[in-house]
Amino acid sequence: MKRIGVFICHCGTNIASAVDVKKVAAVAATWAGVVFATDYQYMCSDPGQELIRKAIKEHRLNRVVVASCTPRLHEPTFRKTVESVGLNPYLFEMANIREQCAWVHAKDKEGATAKAIDLVRMAVAKAERNFALSAAKIPVTKRALIIGAGIAGMQAALDIADSGYEVVLLDREPTIGGNMVKLDKTFPTLDCSA
């Protein structure tokens, strides 16, 4: 059975000035599968993260949704938070209600709140369908294939080779140089191009 916790961040006043965060949390608490919903001033802070850890333990949460700022900034923070209490980090979802909602609807609190509720509802729906994953490392062959041995292809090959990687240069013609071989001099030195 899915036991989802929803955590709405005020982000100081970044979100709370445009979104009724308490209403978003209250609405989220009514959804099927959501067993805990709350709001907090700074969810990414140490006390905010502790709030999430405590709720996971007390309410036996097996999915977590945080609605706050951009995932680019704090998704790793929250994944580590849920993982620290034994929850698979891939059972975590994040809704961006700062950039995608509060900042673009700053003068429409009712509309911003409605949109935030929709964004959180979508994150909850996704969290319901998430399943535990594990990180895998896949070996990568550090070699580049450059298709086209004209001026750009040769320069790319030289730059990559200078960085210490093996390069395979491929061209359909038997000679390299592309259109460069059609010129007799090059600018600005007027050196021979051949």
Domain match, 96 and 163 both: no
Domain match, 121 and 152 both: no
Please state, in angstroms and rounded to a whole number, the distance separating the CA atoms of residues 191 and 98: 57
In a domain, 136, yes or no: no
Domain match, 29 and 90 both: yes
Domain match, 188 and 125 both: no
In a domain, 138, yes or no: no
Backbone phi and psi for residue 6, each to the nearest 5 degrees, phi listed first: -120, 130
Torsion angle (degrees, nearest 10) of CA 43, 45, 46, 49: 20
Residue where one domain finishes, among candidates 76, 102, 129: 129
In a domain, 96, yes or no: yes
Range of the domain at 185: 143-192
3-state secondary structure of 38: strand
Domain match, 104 and 188 both: no
Tell me the two tokens of residue 149. 């041995």
Residue where one domain finishes, among candidates 94, 129, 164: 129
Number of domains in the chain: 2
pLDDT in tens, the chain (194 residues): 899 999 999 999 999 999 999 999 999 999 999 999 999 999 999 999 999 999 999 999 999 999 999 999 999 999 999 999 999 999 999 999 999 999 999 999 999 999 999 999 999 999 999 999 998 999 999 999 999 998 899 999 999 999 999 999 999 988 887 777 777 666 666 666 55
In a domain, 135, yes or no: no
Domain containing residue 84: CATH number: 3.40.50
